[in-house]
Structure 1
Amino acid sequence: MTLYERLGNDVGIRTAVDDFYERVVADPELTGWFEGVDMPQLRRHQTALLVQVTGGPVEYSGRELAEGHGDLAITGDAFDRVVGHLVDTLTELGVSGEDIGQVGAALGAHRDEIVTEPAPAG
């Protein structure tokens, strides 16, 4: 069984994405990155991306992660908060710790494409 199937196929992933974005945009430390964003479109893109990377049938056709996030000055702290909201979402949906770890590893592999704020000197 693929991770896509264990997450509940399209319906399960869409549910997770919806809950995830509700948490993220309600977070006062993250909401600024989403002002003026077409959230329905972002949710569709995120669902398609997650379906594909978890072994589902959808082929993601959005921008590359670095291109989509490059001008947003996303900090490492913000990235970590977003991942935390995703972990909380998946936990509340009853996803196993092992599967959450796989999703986290997939996100972590793309951290450098998303985090664009330079590391502090020191």
Structure 2
Amino acid sequence: MNEIYDELGGADGLRTAVSVMYGRVTTDDELAHWFADIDVDRLKAHQRAFLAAAFGGPQLFGGRALAQAHSDLEITDAAFDRIVGTLMTALADLGVSNEAVIAVGQRLETTRADIVRV
């Protein structure tokens, strides 16, 4: 799985991708309300650590379990799809190979049941 982390550009690539993704979702009319009262810089750090661990990089993620962290957010399937799609688009825009982008989407799909609450 380390090849996905490497394909994403390691820590620097994830930092860029997460920044681009949050720049987009925090201004997306359908998603922005989930981020209105959130410390986005802190969230970005959690997201980078989570994605690094999920894709074979350093295992630095020490946050709450996904189900616990998202339990009161009422995230819908549509919102999940939109945010994962936004990350995949950001990766593609940054030059990540189509194969790696698809692998990211497939890996994130395995987290749906822990995140979607509605």
Place the TM-score, normalised by the shorter chain, in its bin.
over 0.9
> What is aligned with 1:57?
58
- The one-letter code of the counterpart of 2:33 is G
> What is aligned with 1:43?
44
After TM superposition, the runs of 4+ consecutive aligned structure 1 residues lying more than 4 A away are none
> What is aligned with 1:94?
95
1:34: how far off? 0.6
> What is aligned with 2:106?
105
Q: Deviations over 1:57-82 (max 9, x none)?
A: 23210111111111000011111111
Choose between structure 1 and 2 for higher RCO, CA contacts under 8 A separated by at least 6 residues: 2
Q: CA RMSD in A?
A: 1.0
- The one-letter code of the counterpart of 1:77 is A
Higher alpha-carbon Rg: 1
- The one-letter code of the counterpart of 2:58 is P
Alpha-carbon distance in 2 for matches of 1:52, 1:114: 17
TM-score by length of 2: 0.95
Alpha-carbon distance in 1 for matches of 2:108, 2:37: 24
- Number of equivalent positions: 117
Alpha-carbon distance in 2 for matches of 1:87, 1:5: 16
Aligned-partner SS, 1:73: coil
Percent of residue pairs bearing the same amino acid type: 45
1:52: how far off? 1.1
Aligned-partner SS, 1:89: helix
1:17 aligns with 2:34: no
> What is aligned with 1:33?
34
Structure 1: stretches of 5+ with no match in the other structure:
118-122
Structure 2: stretches of 5+ with no match in the other structure:
none
